[in-house]
Structure 1
């Protein structure tokens, strides 16, 4: 089964579109339910394709983050869940040689660091005291995911960049720099987030297939955590 024909990816795309419609119409609780379906549908596809376990872990914590952010008073817990998701993404890319590529070309990392510092500085004065400690830490994790994903795979790198932009809009809303309750804000956040996790997931899986296709040129000293690898019939 090729990726574009996977029932799980079709279900993900359908859920994403339906969620955006429900979000725009402010139809609760259905918007929240469809939002919480997104990451699990991608995770199911990864499991079906025997992809990296860490990718499934990352998507599982994205689901928890989505769930917690839908519950009043659990914003920090939602951030914590997404933080673990980013740690999983970063670990996955580092295991696949991202740090060596970043050392060879540090410009993407530098660009993301500058952008994140500017974003945090813009938000800082409007943040509640309880958010002033976690926001910079979380921003650093967003930068990490964006930088290591870009150095590993271009599609995954687009996903990492979109994740940073999506969560940056959330931060601006929390700081009162933009209208957090505006319909366009929610739609922009969720459209970017949906594309982010899709690009990260499919980019990682495409890279895993290329690695398997490389055959004898594959370096066995590089750690992998697939189940045990993408089947050759699905390359």
Structure 2
């Protein structure tokens, strides 16, 4: 069974469509319930594929973030859960050589840092006082995930970028820069978020399988342009 034929990832795809339809129809509480099913399906996929524990942990924290953000009084708790998820993502990518790549390509971190600062500056005056102390910290973690993932793997890097964009829209909504209650805003946030966790997960799993296929002598912290061919691949 190849990774993309797993029943867990197929269920994730089906639930993605279901959730976006429910979200667009504002079918409460079913849209919230369907959202909270997405990350656990990816956790099951990671476990089935014998993926990294840090990746599974990051997705578990994403689930709790999804859950807590459904309650207005627990918004900060939801942010904290996602923050822990980003710490797991960053720790994993650093373990796979992200810092070395960022030293060789400092423009990656520079671009994301400038984007993060610009986003906060634009939203700052519209944020509630209770959010202002935590937004810069959370934004730094978003930038960290985006930069370290892009430095490690292009597919995972796309996921990190989409995560930044999704949460950026949430930030603009909280600052009243856009209508956070608009259906289009909700759909954009969720479409970007779902794509982000899929690309992060699939990028990591693909890279780890390539590393395993290379054998024990392969150093996963050294990025190369020619990944090994899988043992069952046709030449």
TM-score tier after normalising by the smaller chain length: over 0.9
CA deviation after TM superposition for structure 1 residue 233, in Å: 7.8
Paired position in structure 1 for 2:75:
75
CA deviation after TM superposition for structure 1 residue 71, in Å: 1.5
The reply to whether residue 104 of structure 1 matches residue 99 of structure 2 is no
Gaps of 5+ in 2: 222-230
CA distance in 2, matches of 1:72, 1:196: 23
Paired position in structure 1 for 2:9:
9
Paired position in structure 1 for 2:181:
181
Q: For each residue in 1:191-230, what CA deviation from the matched residue of structure 2 results, as whole angstroms up to 9, or x when unmatched?
A: 000000000000000000111111254138x6xxxxxxxx
Q: TM-score, normalised by structure 1?
A: 0.93
CA distance in 2, matches of 1:59, 1:104: 29
The reply to whether residue 134 of structure 1 matches residue 139 of structure 2 is no
Output the aligned Cα RMSD.
1.5
CA distance in 1, matches of 2:180, 2:50: 39
Paired position in structure 2 for 1:207:
207
Q: Which residues in structure 2 correspond to 1:12-161 (within 5 Å)? A: 12-161=12-161
Paired position in structure 2 for 1:229:
none
Q: Which has the higher contact order (CA 8 A, sep 6+)?
A: 1
Gaps of 5+ in 1: 223-231
CA distance in 1, matches of 2:216, 2:204: 20
State the 4+ residue runs in structure 1 displaced beyond 3 angstroms: none
The residue matched to 2:58 in structure 1 has which SS? helix
CA distance in 2, matches of 1:140, 1:212: 32
